Amino acid sequence: MEHVLELLVVLSQVLLLIQSKTIGEYLAERNEVLEKEDQSYLGSDLALTLEEIQFNQVLMDAKFKELDEAFQLSHFPPSQHFFLAKPQIEASTVFQIIRQMPKGGNLHTHDLSIVSLDWVIANITYQPNLLMCIKPTDENLIFSWLPFPSNPPNCDWLNVAEERRKVDPVVFDRYLRSFLSLEVSDPYDTYPDINRVWQKFFKTWDTIHSLISSKPILRDYIWQAMTEMLQDNVQLLEIRTFLDAQYCTNNVTCDPMSSTDILDFFQEISTEFSSANPDFCGLNIILSRSRINDDLEDFPSWLASIGDYQKMYPDLIAGMDIMGQEDLGTYLVAYAEDILAIKETYPNLEFFFHAGETNWQGQATDKNIIDGILLGASRLGHGYAITRHPEAWQMALDQNVAIEICPLSNQVLTLVHDLRNHPASVLIQSNFTGLVIASDDVAMWGGRGLSFDFYETFMGLAGRDMDLRLLKKLSLNSIEYSALRGDRKRQCLMKFENKWEDFLSSYISPVD
């Protein structure tokens, strides 16, 4: 018996010896895991050219420098609210590089908050005959171009130019900006929860819509939107717009524009701008509807009208969307029967649903993710909740449904404080193929173009060693998953590649 015990002790020691690792084996396994992760993120399969390798060194040197400084100082822009971090971002070398980099398309924007507020205030609010008043119902500022506006009632209408002359113009313009923007110096106190910030959001939309409600002003505004995107090296723009919004043909008598008048306007300005700017790939419109207080009664006829308009304007209208604060709005399942039926009559009608813009799990809101995919969406707006739904995640991959990630929008609207914790960081690391980066209502948080969201993605959502391959893949995705089709998509890709080569040559010396 004693010998048996001794044998068992010896055998156990042998087994421990066999199972134990040497430091060399441990390091080899560690390196293998890290290498697999380094080759599994979005874009990691791209092969860089010699020129791109040269530029990548410049880019990553700047990235490592900023990350190392932030790690030591615990002062990292993506971890702070954008309203507080914006000056530091603008001073960033990485941001300056990204601004000059071609970024393809911006596929998730809204016409009521797409042009920088500096331009809006300087070029629209200084127009003659602009009136303003504070609505008695909600104390929100609205504008009018009519000499004697009738809506809303009981408003004390004032001439903007005369009011500006009474005070310091700088102070007055700051006052106007407070109604056009969510910007505040204390965002966490002012907007302690999602409902509070959305209340301000809707008021701001109301103000901006009243300001651009005449065709001459709207023309300058949309032209400037495309100009600012092109200046930010964005070559394609897709705008969500409410077709039934009230626009006037002029700012004197306010003859109302019909739906086709509005679509003709967008078609003309897109054609004119693209002709004047050959690097621009064009403008697409996603016709939208609010899910807030939606009684659904006219939804089938509205949906059919979108299908008709898409046939009339095939190179302009991308498809349709249902948008607005999801937690308090009508859920996609309520629209399902009509959406499924409309595909029989309009099989080419595409859907770009806002879905999963929420922190809840298992509620009706985040189930919009599942419904959006089942209803045939081409892209999901935000898709913030998708990582909580592995089945939907896999369905999106299998059906090639893209997710429009809007990092700054998610932060400003209080879904996430520290962008390093954004769920899209998991999608990037796991090579979710259909990711695109977009700016949403960029002007409302004092931004411009798409570069701020690209910066936050590259520095905050992405890992330290994720490099040019990620940025290039995101840019290519924005064309691949756009509403462009056939020759238009091929031509846009060629324009992007030409801009990409010019961009690289501006940073590196020629390769022999």
Exactly one of 357, 404, 456, 480 is catalytic; which is it? Answer: 357
How remote is the C-alpha of 311 from its chain's centroid?
Answer: 27
Residue among 176, 269, 181, 168 nearest 227 (CA): 269
**Which residue pairs, CB below 8 angstroms and at least 24 apart, start in 182-185?**
182/412, 182/444, 182/445, 183/83, 183/445, 183/446, 184/83, 185/83
Q: Is 214 helix (H, G, I), strand (E, B) or coil?
A: strand
Beta bridge partners of 319: 286
Asked if 471 and 458 count as a contact pair (C-beta separation under 8 A), the reply is: yes
Strand pairing report for 158-159 and 131-134: antiparallel
Active site includes 350?
A: no
Dist. CA 150–CA 349, nearest whole Å: 38
Distances (CA, A) of 198 to 202, 204, 452: 6, 10, 21
How remote is the C-alpha of 142 from its chain's centroid?
Answer: 26
DSSP 103-145: --EEEEEEGGG-S-HHHHHHHTTTSTT-EEEE-TTT--EEEE-
Exactly one of 354, 382, 389, 422 is catalytic; which is it? Answer: 382
172: enclosing H helix or E strand: helix 169-180
25: enclosing H helix or E strand: helix 23-38
Dist. CA 374–CA 384, nearest whole Å: 17
Q: Is 39 helix (H, G, I), strand (E, B) or coil?
A: coil
Active site includes 2?
A: no
Cβ burial, residue 345 (10 Å; 0-12/13-18/19+): exposed
Dist. CA 131–CA 161, nearest whole Å: 8
Strand pairing report for 282-290 and 236-241: parallel
Strand pairing report for 351-355 and 158-159: unpaired
- Catalytic site positions: 357, 382
